[in-house]
Amino acid sequence: MSTDPAPQPHATAEQVEAARHDPKLANVLYHDWEAGSYDDKWSISYDERCISYAADRFRYVAGDADWPYGRALELGCGTGFFLLNLMQAGLAKQGSVTDLSPGMVQAALRNAERLGLDVDGRVADAEHIPYDDGSFDVVVGHAVLHHIPDVEGALREVLRVLKPGGRFVFAGEPTKIGDFYARRLGALTWKAATTVTKLPPLQGWRRPQAELDESSRAAALEAVVDQHIFDPADLEAIARRAGAADVRAATEEFTAAMLGWPVRTFEAAVPPGKLGMRWAMFAYRSWQRLSWVDRNVLSRVVPRGWFYNALVTGTKPAR
């Protein structure tokens, strides 16, 4: 029988207050609260679009010469976006999903079952992974390292549960410079959208005040759940200090992030469904084109620290 704690999707005001000084509690409350709507909010799917997105991230930093791996583990799985899509792409046949948020583990297990994947799940802190030494051939994570207070400790745990020669891949981590421009562009877009939609002719484009207030409260917890922004060289140094071999960091999304953050913020500021499918396709295709330019052209001239997303890989030294 599972001994995992139950999700807490409706935190009390006292819990939220306590979470302001406790990043792990903030992560549990914030992500338990988000678990039910997370896939919609971030346009996460388990079809070709996200399968190729996940596989491309892995290949970009680590290649796929060793596919398929035996047993795979994901840390901070959320609803399962990264590992479930990687498994569908052929990364591994057997997987384990873990997250600090019980609501997220439940959502990931529901998605895995619906997709017919062989996946078990545990509520787990990445700093104390509840699996035996040498259990996994590959460990992955997406947008999780920046939430973990002790990143080096978590990577030491990753190396402990990997078999000798096993690989880890973490993607979707914000860089210092990327976070600087993304946050400013997002804040400007929010201000512009919520101001303009106060004008009487545009009020049909205004999201209900209660939902805007909720977004602002969420933003307050977001400031606590986000613990780090990384320089790619620092990320490599942390992984090496943890004991990893063959360490390599890569970055991606420069102009794509400058488009992506205002677009996502604008979508969050207007009523859900208001923009429709044509807008969604336009935004996605534009992001894809800019990502191509970033990776194939700008990466030759723009320093890697200026890109928004960092990825890091490494292996457990073979004995």
Reply yes or no: is the peptide bond before residue 5 cis, omega within 30 of 0. no
Q: Determine the number of helices (DSSP H) and then strands (DSSP E) in the chain.
A: 12, 7
143 binds ligand SAM (CB under 6 A): yes
Pick between residue 104 and residue 162 the one whose CB is nearest to ligand SAM.
104
Q: Is 310 in the site for ligand SAM (CB under 6 A)?
A: no
Q: What is the DSSP string of 73-141?
A: EESS-TTSHHHHHHHHHTSEEEEEEEES-HHHHHHHHHHHHHHT-EEEEEE--TTS--S-TT-EEEEEE
Q: Which of residues 105-134 bind ligand SAM (CB under 6 A)?
A: 125-127
The residue from 51, 61, 62, 104 that contacts ligand SAM (CB under 6 A) is 104
Residue type at 231 in one-letter notation: D
**Contact flag: residue 99 with ligand SAM (CB under 6 A):** yes
List the structure tokens of 210.
Answer: 């209660």
In angstroms, what is the minimal distance from the CB of 196 to ligand SAM? 29
Write the binding mask 59 to 98 for ligand SAM: x where contact by CB under 6 A, - elsewhere: ----------------xxxx--xx----------------
Q: How many residues lie near ligand SAM (CB under 6 A)?
A: 22
Q: Which is nearer to ligand SAM, 109 or 206 (CB)?
A: 109
Instruction: For the chain, list the strands marked E by DSSP.
Output: 69-74, 92-99, 118-123, 136-142, 162-174, 245-252, 309-315
Q: Which is nearer to ligand SAM, 76 or 206 (CB)?
A: 76
Helix (H, G, I), strand (E, B) or coil at 67: coil
Q: Is 173 in the site for ligand SAM (CB under 6 A)?
A: no
Q: Quick one: which of 308, 175, 169 has its CA closest to 247?
A: 169
Smaller CB separation from ligand SAM, 102 or 232: 102
Report the greatest alpha carbon distance in the chain.
69
Q: Is 58 in the site for ligand SAM (CB under 6 A)?
A: no
Which residues of this protein are in contact with ligand SAM, per CB under 6 A? Answer: 24, 27, 31, 75-78, 81-82, 99-101, 104, 125-127, 142-144, 147-148, 172
